Structure 1
Amino acid sequence: MHRSVYLTGATASGKTAVGVALAQHLDAEVIALDSMTLYRGMDIGTAKPTLDEREGVPHHLIDVLDPWQSASVADYRGWALQTAAEIEGRGKRILFVGGTALYLKALLRGLFEGPAADTALRQELEAEADRRGPEALHARLETLDPRSAARLHPNDRRRLVRALEVLALTGRRLSDLQTEHEQPAPDDVAVFALQRPRPEMHDRINRRVVAMFREGFVEEVRRLRESDPPISPVAAQGVGYLEVLEHLETGIPLERTISLIQARTRQFAKRQETWFRGLSEVKPWPVATSEPPGVTARALADRISSGN
């Protein structure tokens, strides 16, 4: 994963168009770094790149799940590793494009999964929780692994059991094992986040949301709601989908729904930027107002080629 190139940034920052142009410069194939474009039929609300927008550049990990399915971060990472190996086998470079920060972190720093569950040990811990309450497990964890205990609620039975199970199976504290997977990737990994001035980002978001409704967003959500099986609660929480579902179910005026989605998308973009600032591997890449995607991509390609 450290040989790959990563292009990220907040929603509506222009990743898709810049990513296609950058892939052409690098002779790369694109792996989507997005938790929502995994879903088939969720096209408009996710701003999924169309075949025309991809301009012949192969894109992977798009349309791999039905809307009633779900995937973990570990699932995505496994698919990404397999796809990356296949791309390298074709002699191409790997370019990740997208804005799901948890996926980015898992690719750059790995993901702690821990030992497989021990049925007998887990049953023993569960029985103790039944007899004495989960608070007793929390008290024991405070003695054995204070950092894990500090971040877990005394009633979080499932995670308390898992923390004690890992300790018993490995002889090491869960907090120590997880910390090992918090180490940043090497400095020379190419990870760039597109950045635009806040007023411009707000304008781009507002215009994108309006365009989504012109393209048939309400009809897309209605089909997902009426499908058999219907859209899953996880997928339905996506920005925009939740608000349109409420519009269909409660009759909230469409104008109000559009405003709510614009506001929620702006808030989401702000959270994404906070996430990226928290990852030391991410290098900010300012984009000038009205700068064509090809110009941005050429500058990025030159930077990547120079190794700086």
Structure 2
Amino acid sequence: MNQHPYRIIVIAGPTAVGKTDVAIAVAEHLQVPILSFDSRQCYRELSIGVARPQGRQLQQVPHYFIADHSIHDPVSAAYFEQYATQKVAELTARYGQLVMVGGTGLYWKAFWQGLDAIPAADPAIRTEIILQYRQNGMEWLQATLTELDPLYAASGEMLNPQRMMRALEVVRATQKSILSFQGGADKAQPYEA
């Protein structure tokens, strides 16, 4: 006997490889809805470059997290974790299973495993770091991060200014490397995927 009473069929891959057609075929066959875990298809205003299901496809099977948010209200992995947890519980209670489809691995990971407990952003520290980065550039950011968080600097993520500024923000706020907060999420799920 299966230990999980509910099942999620997961279809994942890069944009424009045919995930939507496969997901619709599976969902129609099983008579279940589709929940997207794509970080861009959720925005109403984005229609080019996101390969979002259109017209007839959306009528074939109920879809969730498709064109139901505005770009003026940004969605994050943390938001998706909460949204998907609630929506999957609601849909599996009704249908017993559902199809989840997308290309955003972080959103799937956020739902399935949970997110690491990295401290929330401190607006004052963030603003200061952004200003210093704009004034002093990448070289300053790399040198400062190497000095304050050598563990992160050694991880090889020293070319992405957004990630570097976040790492610097965390070390300034907590005196701990951002890496010390990662790897702890392990959310138990009542589903088979």
TM-score normalized by structure 1?
A: 0.45
Cα distance in 1, alignment partners of residues 48 and 148 from structure 2: 50
Match of 2:68 among 58, 64, 67: 64
Equivalent residue number for residue 219 of structure 1 = none
Superimposed CA distance per residue, residues 68-99 of structure 1 (whole angstroms, 9 cap, x where no aligned partner): 44322222222222211221232441211122
Structure 2 letter corresponding to 1:162? V
Cα distance in 1, alignment partners of residues 175 and 7 from structure 2: 34
Deviation at 1:47, TM superposition (A): 2.9
* Distance change in 2, residues 1:44/1:27 (3 Å): same
Cα distance in 2, alignment partners of residues 98 and 78 from structure 1: 17
Cα distance in 2, alignment partners of residues 157 and 41 from structure 1: 29
Equivalent residue number for residue 162 of structure 1 = 170
Say how many residue pairs are matched: 171
Cα distance in 1, alignment partners of residues 104 and 122 from structure 2: 32
Equivalent residue number for residue 139 of structure 1 = 147
Structure 1 letter corresponding to 2:92? E
* Distance change in 2, residues 1:119/1:67 (3 Å): closer
Asked if the contact 2:12/2:19 (under 8 Å) is kept, the reply is yes
Asked if the contact 1:167/1:174 (under 8 Å) is kept, the reply is no
Cα distance in 2, alignment partners of residues 27 and 15 from structure 1: 17
Identity of aligned residues (%): 32
3-state SS of the aligned residue for 2:67? coil
Superimposed CA distance per residue, residues 26-70 of structure 1 (whole angstroms, 9 cap, x where no aligned partner): 342110122221111433543322342245421101112224443
3-state SS of the aligned residue for 2:33? strand
Asked if the contact 2:36/2:100 (under 8 Å) is kept, the reply is yes
Equivalent residue number for residue 93 of structure 1 = 97
3-state SS of the aligned residue for 1:180? coil
* Distance change in 2, residues 1:119/1:46 (3 Å): closer
* Distance change in 2, residues 1:3/1:138 (3 Å): farther
Asked if the contact 1:38/1:64 (under 8 Å) is kept, the reply is yes
Deviation at 1:110, TM superposition (A): 2.3
Matched, 1:28 2:48: no
Cα distance in 2, alignment partners of residues 158 and 103 from structure 1: 19
3-state SS of the aligned residue for 1:4? strand
Cα distance in 2, alignment partners of residues 166 and 74 from structure 1: 21
Matched, 1:73 2:81: no
Structure 2 letter corresponding to 1:161? E
Cα distance in 2, alignment partners of residues 72 and 32 from structure 1: 14
Unaligned 5+ runs, structure 1: 191-308
3-state SS of the aligned residue for 1:179? coil
* Distance change in 2, residues 1:42/1:137 (3 Å): closer
Equivalent residue number for residue 136 of structure 2 = none
Cα distance in 2, alignment partners of residues 39 and 24 from structure 1: 24
Asked if the contact 1:27/1:93 (under 8 Å) is kept, the reply is no
More helix by share: 1
Deviation at 1:180, TM superposition (A): 3.0
Superimposed CA distance per residue, residues 202-225 of structure 1 (whole angstroms, 9 cap, x where no aligned partner): xxxxxxxxxxxxxxxxxxxxxxxx
Deviation at 1:7, TM superposition (A): 0.8
TM-score normalized by structure 2?
A: 0.66
Matched, 1:6 2:10: yes
Larger radius of gyration: 1
Asked if the contact 1:29/1:92 (under 8 Å) is kept, the reply is no
